[in-house]
Amino acid sequence: MSADLALAPAGFWRRAVFSTDHKVIGRQFLWLGLVFLAVAGALAMLIRWQLAHPGIPVPVVGGVIFPASGGVVSPAAYTALFTMHGTIMIFFALTPILIGGFGNFCLPLMIGARDMAFPSLNMLSYWTMFAATAVLTASFFAPLGPPAAGWTSYPTLSTAVGAPGVAQTMWVVAIYLNGASSVMGAVNYITTVIRLRAPGMTFFRLPLTVWGIWLASILNALFVPVLAAGAVLLFFDRVFGTRFFVAGSAIKPGGDPVLYQHLFWIFGHPEVYILILPAWGIAGDLLAFFARKPAYGYKVTVWALIAIVVLSGVVYGHHMFVSGMSPLLGEGFMILTMIISVPSIVLGVGWLGTLWRGAIRFTTPMLFALGLVTVFGVGGFTGLFLADVLSDVYLHDTFFVVGHFHLTMSAAVLLGAFAAIYFWFPKMFGRMLNEPLGKLHFALTLTTVLVTFGLQLVLGYAGMQRRLADPSAYAFLRPLMPLNRVVSTAAFVMGAGQILFVVNFFFSLFWGPKAPANPWEVGTLEWTVSSPPPHHNFDVIPRVFAGPHELGNPVMKEARGRDYQVQSEELPG
């Protein structure tokens, strides 16, 4: 014990900045993700202002941000806004919070390990991500303006012709660095779970959170490199003048812009699951914890998650139905995509079965987990329309797509991130968040999420295309402007509602009540150590005897006076 403590670095830089401790790195990822969540959220507010009030200067900050246009969001600025909003939200906010933040913090604690398998690589992963954020942030101030080719950065928009200047090249570099960081993290997570589980922690005793993060890491390791390949070729096209994505002509042969779409979506569809798998895992655990019941169909849920991971790698073509794909191929991708809904429904049945006749405790993390299930349910069903070739041809590139993916891979993931923050904040920072404020934050967020993105589905179905800087310029879209204003108002309330979270977060960080070791009365291993945990995590590596959701057991109630069994204790008698 004393030898362990002696190894905790004493100096500030090694302890708090260049630390190899997974808990410190987890907190660093969380801070980074939250900062960029705020940035991307602010960009979303500007987007919604423009869609509700096109041509009217943005109040208060418009003159500072867009001085050349008198505070009005110009079409060029609008294009840059949605590009950076999407890029930051997906790669620099949601991924760092859930996988970087909670993956790092929770994974070793939940499997009974002292740290990640490769602590130095872990630190390098964080600082590579930091470098990526620095490059992307710098691209805001590039001479010809920020990147503006969309978060997908399709050629021809992203080639040297479509996007002159250095900004788009910086975007490519930032994405490559971001991917390198993700792969380093994946190497660590996969290896840590395989090699460093505590004695008795079999794969089917792992918390669902660990399953979610581990499976997402496998997707990260296999598919982020495909995006990297696309980024490398785009970089070569832009910097060295190669011609992979530069379309040829009758007089000059060339490459194929659609080639990039293949590379992007081979990665891009698994990316949806990279984002949502950790959130699903967290929801699975939290629903069981706060329903005070074992997770219904735990093993079936795990197999469903594995099936989704496998299928996610073979369905990417449904993003490209309108790219001139062979109808036969399109039909194949459509069927494969539809098949994914089967294991997805299995997950849903598991969640509902867990809640059924449970002694539900409506804590803030539980509410956010329930919100995730609700929002993902709505978003998931709308995905069926986009998986079908016939309806996708009509709905493609409309706000229906925007509403769908915001519900499934943005709002659901965000609600999962909030569930995780409210649940593990006591373990991370040693203090409790304010519950009433948290519940108010939940109510505002869930309501506005459903209104904002639900009505975007309606806008899309009514024919409003995405990425239009001024929909009111088109006569057939003018009748939709009132609906656009409702969507924007809901979005503004959502944005303002996050102030509650910020206040709660910082107030509790300094003045919140001290957290006990196990405030939620659950049995996974991280709650067996102090809040926050010591540098070495466990004085003694625990031996595991039970699954993660041994709750509501009358034997425990009778013998120990509580309704849950800690994973590292044997059942009495």
Partner 1 sequence: MSGVRAPALAAGGDAGEGEAAATLSVGMAVALAAIAMTFAALLLAYGIVRVQAPAWPIAGERPVPPLWGYRLAATAVALAGSLAMWRAARGPDRAAQGSDGTTIDRGGRHHVSGSLLVAGLCGAAFLGLQVASFVTLRGRQIGPGAGLGASVVYALSAFHGVHALAALLALAPALYADARRRPLRRARLRAVASFWHLVTGVWVVVFLAVFVA
166 binds partner 1 (CB under 8 A): no
> What CA–CA distances, in Å, run from 310 to 26, 215, 273, 384?
28, 10, 11, 19
115 binds partner 1 (CB under 8 A): yes
From the list 131-139, 183-191, 281-289, 490-498, the region that binds partner 1 by CB under 8 A is 183-191
> What CA–CA distances, in Å, run from 127 to 137, 175, 190, 413?
15, 14, 20, 24
Give me the phi and psi of 245, to 5 degrees please.
Answer: -110, 10
253 binds partner 1 (CB under 8 A): yes
52 or 218: whose CB is closer to partner 1?
Answer: 218
175 binds partner 1 (CB under 8 A): no
Least distance to partner 1, CB of residue 298, Å: 24
314 binds partner 1 (CB under 8 A): no
Burial (Cβ within 10 Å: 0-12, 13-18, ≥19) of residue 260: buried
152 binds partner 1 (CB under 8 A): no
232 binds partner 1 (CB under 8 A): yes
Radius of gyration of the chain (CA): 24
- Fill in the per-residue mask, 516 to 545: x = in contact with partner 1 (CB under 8 A), - = not in contact: ------------x------xx-x-xxxx--
Q: What is the DSSP string of 353-393?
A: HHHTT------HHHHHHHHHHHHHHHHHHHHHHHHSHHHHH
298 or 538: whose CB is closer to partner 1?
Answer: 538
Q: Which of 172, 190, 305, 556 binds partner 1 (CB under 8 A)?
A: 190
Q: Which of 14, 243, 439, 560 binds partner 1 (CB under 8 A)?
A: 243
Q: Report the distance separating Cα 264 and Cα 230, nearest Å.
A: 7
From the list 202-210, 233-241, 322-330, 470-478, the region that binds partner 1 by CB under 8 A is 233-241
Least distance to partner 1, CB of residue 81, Å: 30
Q: Report the distance separating Cα 528 and Cα 538, nearest Å.
A: 9
252 binds partner 1 (CB under 8 A): yes
114 binds partner 1 (CB under 8 A): yes
Least distance to partner 1, CB of residue 54, Å: 39
| Contact in structure between 254 and 294 (CB atoms under 8 Å) | no
Size of site (CB under 8 A) for partner 1:
61
- Residue 338: Cβ within 10 Å count: 15
366 or 529: whose CB is closer to partner 1?
Answer: 529
Q: Report the distance separating Cα 40 and Cα 195, nearest Å.
A: 37
Q: Report the distance separating Cα 567 and Cα 562, nearest Å.
A: 14
Q: What residues make contact with partner 1 under the rule CB under 8 A?
A: 3-4, 7, 113-119, 121, 183, 186-188, 190-192, 194-196, 199, 221-226, 228-230, 232-233, 236-237, 240-244, 251-256, 259, 262-263, 266, 528, 535-536, 538, 540-543, 568-570
